Structure 1
Amino acid sequence: MMKILYLFGADKIPFSQMIHLEKNAPNLIIYAIPVMAILTFLEIYHSYKKEKKNYPLKETLGSTVVGLGNVALGLLVKIGLLYMAIWIYDLVPWRMELNWWMLIPCYLLFDLCSYWSHRVSHENRFFWATHIVHHSAENYNLSVSFRLSWVQNIKIVFFLPIFFLGFHPIIIFVVSQASVLFQFWVHTEYIKKLHPAFEYVLATPSNHRVHHGTQEKYLDKNYAATFIFWDRMFGTYQKEEERPDYGLTNKIGNRFNPLFLNFHEYGDMIKDVKEAKTWRRKLFFIFGSPLRIYKDKNDIT
C-alpha cells in the first residue's frame, strides 16, 4: 500500500520550476540528427553504387526540407506542449513520481495511442491532410522518415489519455521522441524480413513497407509505430508479399516544394467542398475516408 501511495503521491510542479524543467527536458531528436544524417548518406551511397537510384534528387530534397521544417516547428511548440503536460499533471490527483522505469508502461500505452492516431489519420480526411505528406514519396528510403507534416501536432488530442494517466511530463516527452526515432530505421528496403519473432512483435521494415504500399491488399494496413501486435489485435495486419508500389493512389510525382507537399490536400479538400451540392457531401469530403473519397471521385467501385 505504501508503495502504491509513493508511486502516485508526487508533488505538483510549481510554476517557478517550469522553465527549469523545460531547459532540462532532453531533446533526443536533436541529438540523433547527426546519426540519422550519416546513415542516410550511407544508404544514398549504397543505392547509387548498386545503381538502384532510390533517391531522386527532388524527392530527397523535398523530404529533407520538410523534415527540417518539422524539427524547427517542434522546437517552437515544445514549450507549449510541455507546459500543457505540466498543467494536466498538476490537475490530476494521481500524479506519478519521476521514475525512469515508468518509461516502459508509458511507451506501451503511448504506442497504443499512436496506433489509433495513425489509423484515424488514414480513415478520416481531416486528419489525413496532416499525414499525407509522409506517404507522398514514391520511393522508399530513410529520407521518407523525415517527411512529417508541419501541422501534425494537432493530433496531440489522441495522446491526451497519456497525460491524464498522471505520467510525469519528462517521461512523456522522452517517450514521444523515442517513438519517433524508432520509426527512422523502418523506412528502408535494404533490411529484409527479420526473424519471425521480431516480425510478430515489432513494426519492422518489412511490416512498415506494407503500410506504404498502394496495392489494394496493402491499403490501410500495419498502422503500428513500434509494436505490430496492435494491428494483429485490431485486424489491420498484412504481411509483406510482393514488393509494394509506393506513394499515393493518386501519384503526385517527385515534388520538391515543401508548401505543396504539406498543404496540397487542404486545397483539394476546399475545392471538393465548394463543388459539393449538399451538406452531407460537403461533410463527406471533409471527414470521410480518403480511400472512399478517391474511389468516389474516380468512379471506382
Structure 2
Amino acid sequence: MPQLPDAVMWSIPAFVLLTVLEVISYRIHPDEDAAGYGAKDTATSLSMGLGSLLFDFLWKFPIVAIYTGVYALTPLRVPVVWWTIPLMLLAQDFFYYWQHRGHHVIRVLWACHVIHHSSRKFNLSTALRQPWTSLTSWPFYLPLIACGVHPAALAFCSSLNLVYQFGIHTERVGKLPGPVEFVFNTPSHHRVHHASQGGYLDRNFGGILILWDRLFGSFAAEAERPVYGLTKNIATFNPLRVATHEYAAIARDVASARTWRDRAGHLLRGPGWSPRPEGPAA
C-alpha cells in the first residue's frame, strides 16, 4: 500500500502558529464573555499534549500488534486508492462517534477522556489537552480492520480527524452558514460539547460530521453561553494529577463499595452514577 503521512505530526507547526495568533487576537480584541487564555491553564494543556505524544507512541506497539493480527486473519481487503480514502475517512468518523460517545457514558473510559474536558477555558490550546491512556480507544475500530482496512490507513484517517478537530476548539468563530452547521462539526457545536450545563451534557460527539449526532439523538444546538469544564471541576494544573484524577476517584469508589455489583457499576456505568445506600453488604 502507498506510504501515508501522519497528519498530526505534520500539522504541529500550524497548531503552534494558529494558537499564537489566537492569543494575539485576544490581546488586540479582548472579549469579556469569552473564556480566553490563562497562563497556567495553557501550560497544562501543552504539557498534556506533549505527554500524549509520548504515551501514544508507547501504546502504539500493542495496538498495532492486535490490528495487524486481525488484518492478517480477515480475507477482506480495502485498496488504498484515491476514491477509497474518503470512504474510509467517513467510516472512521462513524466509529469515532461511537468511541467518543462510549468514553462519555462508561466511567472507566471517561477516566481517559475527562482530561480533554478538564479545562475551564475553551481555545485552540484546549485541543492539545489530550489523554495519556488512549489505549482504551482501539476496540471501537476493530470492525474496520476486520472489514479489510489496513491499520496504516486507519491511522491516517484518525490523524486527519484529529487535525480537523483542532480548528473547532475556539470561541473566535461564531456560527457558520446553515448547510455547514447542519452537516459538519463546527466551533459552535463543539462549544456545546465542552459545556458543563445540564442541557449540554453528553451532546455533539461527532468528529468531522455532526450528522451522526442528528441521526442518533445526541445533538444540541448552541443557545445559552457555555460554561466550560466539568460538573465537579478539579483545582489543579499539575499534569500528572490531571491525567490520573478520575482513575484515583474510581479506585476510591471501588474500594468503598459494598457489593460486587456496585464495584462493577463504578467502572461500567456513567460518571455520575452512585449505588443506592440500602444495598446489602458483600
With normalisation by structure 2, the TM-score equals 0.91
Tell me the residue number matched to 1:139: 121
RMSD after superposition: 2.0
Note if contact 2:115-2:130 (Cα within 8 Å) is conserved in structure 1: yes
1:288 is matched with 269
The match for 2:23 is 44
The CA deviation at 1:80 is: 4.6
Q: Residue 290 of structure 1: SS of its match in structure 2?
A: coil
Superposed CA deviations along residues 86-115 of structure 1, whole A, max 9, x for unmatched, are 332222111122313211111111111111
Question: After the TM superposition, which segments of 4 or more aligned residues of structure 1 sit over 4 Å from their partners?
Answer: none
Gap runs ≥5 in structure 1: 1-12, 14-20
Where 1:129 maps in the other structure, the secondary structure is helix
Contact kept, 8 Å, 1:186 with 1:208, in 2: the verdict is yes
List aligned pairs for 1:88-237, cutoff 5 A: 88-237=70-219
Q: Distance in 1 between the 2:155 and 2:83 partners?
A: 14
Q: Which residue of 1 aligns with 2:244?
A: 263
Contact 2:266 2:273 in 1 (8 A): no
Q: Report the secondary structure of 1:130's partner residue.
A: helix
CA–CA distance in structure 2, aligned partners of residues 87 and 100 of structure 1:
26
Residues in 1 aligned to 2:137 and 2:151: alpha-carbon distance in whole angstroms: 18
Amino acid corresponding to residue 48 of structure 1 in structure 2 = R
Asked if 1:31 is matched to 2:10, the reply is: yes
CA distance in 2, matches of 1:276, 1:168: 43
Give the equivalent residue in structure 2 for 1:56.
38
Kept after mapping to 2: 8 A contact 1:100/1:171: no
Greater displacement, 277-286 / 30-39: 277-286
In 2, the alpha carbon distance for the partners of 1:186 and 1:211 equals: 11
Are residues 226 and 263 of structure 1, via their aligned partners in 2, closer, same or farther at CA, if it must alter by over 3 Å?
A: same
Larger Rg: 1 or 2?
1
Paired residues, number:
274
User: Contact between 1:131 and 1:149, CA under 8 Å: does it hold in 2?
Assistant: yes
Aligned residue type for 1:284: G
Residue of structure 1 equivalent to 2:280? none
Q: CA 1:100–1:77 in 2, change beyond 3 Å: closer, same or farther?
A: farther
| Cα pair 2:59 2:134 within 8 Å, conserved | no
**In 2: Cα distance, 1:112 partner to 1:142 partner:** 24
Cα 1:80–1:28 change in 2 (3 A) is: farther
Distance 1:206 1:291 in 2: 26
Separation of aligned partners in 1, 2:160 and 2:10: 12
Kindly indicate whether the alpha-carbon contact (under 8 Å) linking 2:173 and 2:187 is maintained by their aligned counterparts in 1: yes
Q: Aligned partner of 1:35: which letter?
A: A
Question: Percent of pairs identical after alignment?
Answer: 36
